[in-house]
Amino acid sequence: MGVVALLAAVVVLVQGFAYAGVSGGEWVAPVYGLRGPLRDVALAIDFLGEPVGSTIVLVVLVGGFWWAGRRRSAILVLAAAGVTVGLTTLLKPLVDRTIHGDYLSYPSGHTAFATALVFVLALAAAERLQLGVVAGLTLVLGTSLLAGAVMGWTEVALSAHYLTDTIGGFCTALAVVPPTAWAVDRLTSRL
């Protein structure tokens, strides 16, 4: 996972420098271009990354892990989400890439949040199922890619982000969650 985290961090940095201070230069979905049931689906998915939706998701996941006696996983959900979203929030004004005027867009916090949560869920599942390294890595990276792609599609389709913003959010989660998991493992092993 260390190599994945390092490569993902490089992508975030390279894109951050490439798009620093840039507005536009990439295709943007029309603000009201997505209509009908697909728009409803996109808005429902997007809600999961909004403050109220993400709080509900975190309460359910942390509560579920805690109730199941998986305290380390409960702590990791909070830590991974917090560090990932914190980093995207910190990077946005530093990169200063905007969309639709003054809305900071790089990296996508929604995509980073969704990817981080699914990464942690897949780590917990791989541990619970006692998967080997290859199967576990495949599960973690495959489901994280799927989560990032779904939330990324949502953000691009709703015209909230450029495609590269969502790639940056996905890679931010991949860069942050492995070292966060390592730190949580070290701290919780002492408790």
140 located within any domain = yes
In a domain, 28, yes or no: no
Q: Evaluate whether residue 22 is within a structural domain.
A: no
Residue 95 near residue 16 (C-beta atoms within 8 A): yes
The DSSP bridge partners found for residue 98 are 23, 104
C-alpha distance from residue 89 to each of 81, 109, 110, 119 (Å):
12, 7, 11, 20
Q: Which of 132, 126, 114 is nearest to 57 (CA)?
A: 114
- Distance (Å, rounded) from C-alpha 92 to C-alpha 113? 15
Tell me the Cα Rg of the chain: 17
Residues 122, 139 contacting (CB under 8 angstroms): yes
Instruction: Please write the tens of the pLDDT for every residue from 126-136.
Output: 999 999 999 99
Residues in Cβ contact with 23 at an 8 Å cutoff, skipping those fewer than 6 apart: 97, 98, 99
Domain annotation covers residue 86: yes
Asked if residue 51 is part of any domain, the answer here is yes
Residue 21's pLDDT is what? 87
Question: Confidence band (pLDDT; 50, 70, 90) for 29?
Answer: low
Whether residue 181 is predicted with pLDDT greater than 70 in this model: the reply is yes
CA distance 128 to 144: 17
Confidence of residue 101 (pLDDT cuts 50, 70, 90): confident
The number of domains in the chain is 1
Q: What is the pTM of this model?
A: 0.92
For residue 34, give every residue at least 6 positions away whose Cβ sits within 8 Å of its Cβ, in sequence order, or none. Answer: 42, 157, 158
Distinct helix (H) and strand (E) counts, the chain: 7, 2
What was the pLDDT predicted at 106?
93
Q: Residue 38: give the domain boundaries.
A: 2-16+34-189
Q: Hey, what are 85's tokens?
A: 């979203």
Percent of the chain's residues with pLDDT above 90: 81
Place of tokens 């993400």: 54
Query: Of residues 145 and 159, which shows the higher confidence score?
Result: 145
The alpha carbon of 189 is separated from its chain's Cα centroid by a whole number of angstroms, namely: 26
Instruction: Report whether 156 contacts 169 (CB < 8 A).
Output: no
